[in-house]
Amino acid sequence: MKEKKLMIPGPIQPDTKVLQAIGSPVRAHYGKEWTEYYNETLDYLKKVFITKGDVHIIVGSGSSAIDACLGSAFGTGDKVVIPINGFFGERLKAISESYGIEVLPVISPYGEEIQIEEIKKVLKSQSDIKGIAVVHLETSTTIVNPIEKLGQLAREENLTFFVDAVSSLGGLNFRMDDWGIDLCATASQKCLGSPPGLAPVAISEFGWESIEKNKHSKHGWYLNLRTWKQYAEDWADWHPFPITMATNNVTALHTSLEDLLEEGIENRLSRYRNLALRLRRGLRKIGMPPLTPDEIMAPVLTAAYGPGGIPTSEIVDFLGEKHGIKIAGGLGKLKNKVFRIGHMSPSVSEDDIDEVLYALDDFNKSLSGR
Amino acid sequence: MKEKKLMIPGPIQPDTKVLQAIGSPVRAHYGKEWTEYYNETLDYLKKVFITKGDVHIIVGSGSSAIDACLGSAFGTGDKVVIPINGFFGERLKAISESYGIEVLPVISPYGEEIQIEEIKKVLKSQSDIKGIAVVHLETSTTIVNPIEKLGQLAREENLTFFVDAVSSLGGLNFRMDDWGIDLCATASQKCLGSPPGLAPVAISEFGWESIEKNKHSKHGWYLNLRTWKQYAEDWADWHPFPITMATNNVTALHTSLEDLLEEGIENRLSRYRNLALRLRRGLRKIGMPPLTPDEIMAPVLTAAYGPGGIPTSEIVDFLGEKHGIKIAGGLGKLKNKVFRIGHMSPSVSEDDIDEVLYALDDFNKSLSGR
């Protein structure tokens, strides 16, 4: 299978040394040495979440971590407000409803910002709301949702606040504790710079209280955060998780997190912002304007309109076939209206940005030959 | 971290080419090419399960697949018979009870066989039992449970039959359809020859009927087999699973399964049996007799008594520190009574067996010097 240059909204193409790490000999998932290495990985994650709360690494996809957080903190009949402005907001709703949680959706069209005033109205209209759940970076549309503001609302109303940071952690400004986030789910294969397979979760003290208060606790073992807490305590010195940890994947994540912390989170975010601005300038120049204005841009992911209403699947195919660059189409209601370029890998450079712009311009030229 | 030679009951040390596969560049988890590759991996798995049923690959540990099967097929108040003769039998009970399933345990001491007659009595004594759940190879004790016989019982009584084949599939004789198994869970890091991180499940037609009949369906999204079925159908051509698949781990599994099928399942099983017999002969010679007689031996895992009642943790430490061979201690009630040697990796050779025997004999010699 010929490999294409991956510039999709995850999984990303990790650095060579991260790939070497995942391909290193298998280690046992228990014992003193491994436990130290695993705990160091948790410490790195805490620095990226910017939290004094607990972190666990679930073996699974980002959705597994979302499922674990929502299902542990809320139960059948609990009311949770979910702003929805894209595919992954809809997924939060689907996962919540799979537990019988009563979702109070606040819907905006795909590609538009969420409606804070509308959310405030819903919060005022009912007295027994338990929480707010929201996607940080809505990968389907590139919209970045206002986590800090929602966190303030949650604190004012004493609600449990869940954030899906699957596509954002490590690539966007993020401050779990400062922003009053109680439960947060992310994944290894986006801005954290590793292959897919791991789904870190972070839980604040208030988050654990919400979990303890959730009476609907008969919802399983593996994705029940109580299970992870229990083993982290009972088997702390030897095997601080309930399962066979995916040791190779953790070795990769340890390596990519070490890189992130060595570069410095602030430095990396600023590097990403500059790459995003370079891409955006280039896109405007070739008549494929970004979907969002620069003021609310996602620094790791850019959606843009194709020229003259051409179905964007044609652009995706052209780049894949002629230039060996894999980008993504629009999702849901933006299907064939926009294309999306992921630049959330730590190894993406200015040259990569210029290369994708060159390929897009080549698509423009191919049109004039039709 | 200095790597030890891994001879524990999983994770195994895979072949070099499997490690190279997991360390190859990340592929996108969707598209025609990937879907074909993924489906080929499912076909390989079906040949190993020996089933015409459905197979899905959950990103998670073996316990995640067990959780998915039990939670999808049974619900709060459902009665399920679980023979328990070791740590992983106890885990089946814990996972079941996390869903409110009413477990009817049939308990044997650690290291002893399960009591078929007792199970029959329980089945006769109550009319509304829904299923039987059992561990195939009880890794904690090396006891192999009689799946075929239990499958017969399940068919006679029209019960849903779940088997935890985490440690057995690919290393022990196993015939999902012939033995009347409805739901089966396994994992990548044991006899399937890959690093940890993936948990394949197989579901028969009757298994799906049980899932559809289970009215307690509000138990989540990720580990709900209905979710996996829906996406396999709705997104069949492009993305036949609900999540970001762990593509590197699947590439490893594809590679190790290809090896298994190339060698031939029967050939591999016979090779494993011979290695186990070689180990057992050697153990008897040096006064560390196997826990189980050869007639009921596990071909991929051997437990043996230490010499003269010495706590077996001393043997485990000695082999690790002096010989760089990592073996495992006893679990639960067999702690410090036996040690366990895993030989479930496709790359384990006669030389490896002789090397571990040499190291154990060296432990004997170290005793006489005390």
Write the burial class of residue B178 (CB in 10 Å: 0-12 exposed, 13-18 middle, 19+ buried).
Answer: exposed
**What is chain A's mean pLDDT, rounded?**
96
The residues, ordered by sequence, that sit 6+ positions from A344 with a Cβ below 8 Å of its Cβ are A9, A10, A12, A167, A171, A190, A191, A272, A300, A301
The angle at the Cα of B121, spanning B115 to B125, to the nearest 5 degrees, equals 150
Is-contact B20 B352, C-beta < 8 A? no
Same domain, B283 and B165: no
**What is chain B's mean pLDDT, rounded?**
96
Write the burial class of residue B98 (CB in 10 Å: 0-12 exposed, 13-18 middle, 19+ buried).
Answer: buried
Final residue of a structural domain among A261, A282, A305: A261
Residue A127's pLDDT is what? 87
In whole angstroms, give the CA distance from residue B134 to residue B116: 12
CATH number of the domain to which A256 belongs? 3.40.640.10
Same domain, A240 and A349: no
CB contact under 8 A, B19 and A25: yes
Closest-CA residue to A302 (of A7, A1, A88)? A7
Of the candidates A1, A196, A247, which has its C-beta nearest B33's C-beta? A1
Residue pairs between chains A and B whose CB atoms are closer than 8 Å: 209
CB contact under 8 A, A218 and B63: no
Q: How far is B1 from chain A (nearest CA, A)?
A: 8
- Give the residue, A308 or A266, on which the prediction is more confident: A266
Same domain, A297 and A271: yes
pLDDT in tens, B189-240: 999 999 999 999 999 999 999 999 998 777 899 999 999 999 999 999 999 9
Of the candidates B1, B29, B196, which has its C-beta nearest A29's C-beta? B196
CB contact under 8 A, B326 and A28: yes
Number of domains in chain A: 2
CB contact under 8 A, A244 and B187: yes
Nearest-CA residue of chain A relative to B18? A23
pLDDT in tens, A189-202: 999 999 999 999 99
**E strand spans, chain B:** 5-6, 54-59, 79-84, 102-107, 129-135, 137-138, 143-144, 160-164, 183-185, 198-203, 301-305, 325-326, 328-329, 338-342
Residues of A in contact with B37 (CB under 8 A): 1
Checking if the pLDDT of B2 tops 60, the result is no
Residues of B in contact with A222 (CB under 8 A): 60-61, 63-64, 67, 95, 223
Same domain, A341 and A210: no
CB contact under 8 A, B246 and A67: no
Q: Are strands B183-185 and B198-203 parallel, antiparallel or unpaired?
A: antiparallel
Is-contact A98 A80, C-beta < 8 A? no
- Torsions phi, psi of B357, nearest 5? -65, -40
Nearest-CA residue of chain B relative to A247? B196
Of the candidates B10, B26, B218, which has its C-beta nearest A14's C-beta? B26
Question: Which pLDDT band holds residue B331 (cuts at 50, 70, 90)?
Answer: confident
Same domain, A288 and A242: no
Tokens of A295: 């003021």
Question: Exposed e or buried b for every residue in A184-210, given b needs 16+ CB within 10 A?
Answer: bbbbbbbbbbbbbbbbbbbbbebbbeb
Most B-contacting residue of A17, A26, A27, A325 (CB-CB within 10 A), to test interface:
A26
In whole angstroms, give the CA distance from residue B329 to residue B313: 6
The residues, ordered by sequence, that sit 6+ positions from B359 with a Cβ below 8 Å of its Cβ are B318, B319, B322, B323, B325
Checking if the pLDDT of A1 tops 50, the result is no
Same domain, A145 and A169: yes
Cα atoms found within 13 Å of the Cα of residue A148, Cβ hemisphere only: 5
CB contact under 8 A, B26 and A20: no
CB contact under 8 A, B24 and A28: no
CB contact under 8 A, A60 and B222: yes
In whole angstroms, give the CA distance from residue B330 to residue B139: 10
Nearest-CA residue of chain A relative to B316? A31
Range of the domain at A251: 24-261
Q: What does the pLDDT average to over A227-244? A: 96
Residues of A in contact with B239 (CB under 8 A): none
How many H-runs (helices) and E-runs (strands) does chain A carry? 12, 14
pLDDT in tens, B59-68: 999 999 999 9
Same domain, A76 and A158: yes
CB contact under 8 A, A26 and B11: yes
C-alpha dihedral (A263, A267, A272, A278), degrees to nearest 10:
-120
B315 to B95, B299, B310, B323, B368: CA distances (angstroms): 33, 22, 8, 11, 14
CB contact under 8 A, B222 and A246: no
Residues of A in contact with B224 (CB under 8 A): 98
Final residue of a structural domain among B261, B282, B306: B261
Residues of A in contact with B220 (CB under 8 A): 67, 71, 95, 98-99, 219-220, 223
Most A-contacting residue of B90, B218, B251 (CB-CB within 10 A), to test interface:
B218
In whole angstroms, give the CA distance from residue A242 to residue B245: 22
DSSP string, A113-181: ---HHHHHHHHHH-S-EEEEEEESEETTTTEEP-HHHHHHHHHHHT-EEEEE-TTTBTTB---TTTTT-
Same domain, A247 and A268: no
Is A16 a member of any domain?
no
Residue B3's pLDDT is what? 59
Final residue of a structural domain among A227, A261, A295: A261
DSSP string, A226-262: HHHHHHHHHTTTT--SSS---HHHHHHHHHHHHHHHH
Q: How far is A43 from chain B (nearest CA, A)?
A: 19
Same domain, A125 and A68: yes
Coil/strand/helix, residue A216: coil
Most B-contacting residue of A69, A190, A218, A256 (CB-CB within 10 A), to test interface:
A218
Q: Is the ipTM of this complex over 0.95?
A: yes
CATH number of the domain to which A270 belongs? 3.90.1150.10
Residue B1's pLDDT is what? 41
Of the candidates B71, B242, B246, which has its C-beta nearest A63's C-beta? B242
Q: How far is A194 from chain B (nearest CA, A)?
A: 9
Same domain, B302 and B351: yes
Task: Name the DSSP class of B333.
Answer: G
In whole angstroms, give the CA distance from residue B268 to residue A281: 59
Nearest-CA residue of chain A relative to B1? A33
Is A17 a member of any domain?
no
Closest-CA residue to A24 (of B256, B188, B13)? B13
Of the candidates B10, B20, B220, which has its C-beta nearest A99's C-beta? B220
- pTM comes to 0.97
Is A85 a member of any domain?
yes
- Torsions phi, psi of A223, nearest 5? -100, 25
Of the candidates A76, A189, A244, which has its C-beta nearest B218's C-beta? A76
pLDDT in tens, B292-309: 999 999 999 999 999 988
In whole angstroms, give the CA distance from residue B109 to residue B332: 11
Same domain, A41 and A102: yes
Q: How far is A345 from chain B (nearest CA, A)?
A: 12
Is-contact A327 A340, C-beta < 8 A? yes
CB contact under 8 A, B61 and A244: yes
Same domain, A129 and A227: yes
Checking if the pLDDT of A102 tops 80, the result is yes
Is A212 a member of any domain?
yes
Is-contact B199 B58, C-beta < 8 A? yes
pLDDT in tens, B131-184: 999 999 999 999 999 999 999 999 999 999 999 999 999 999 999 999 999 999
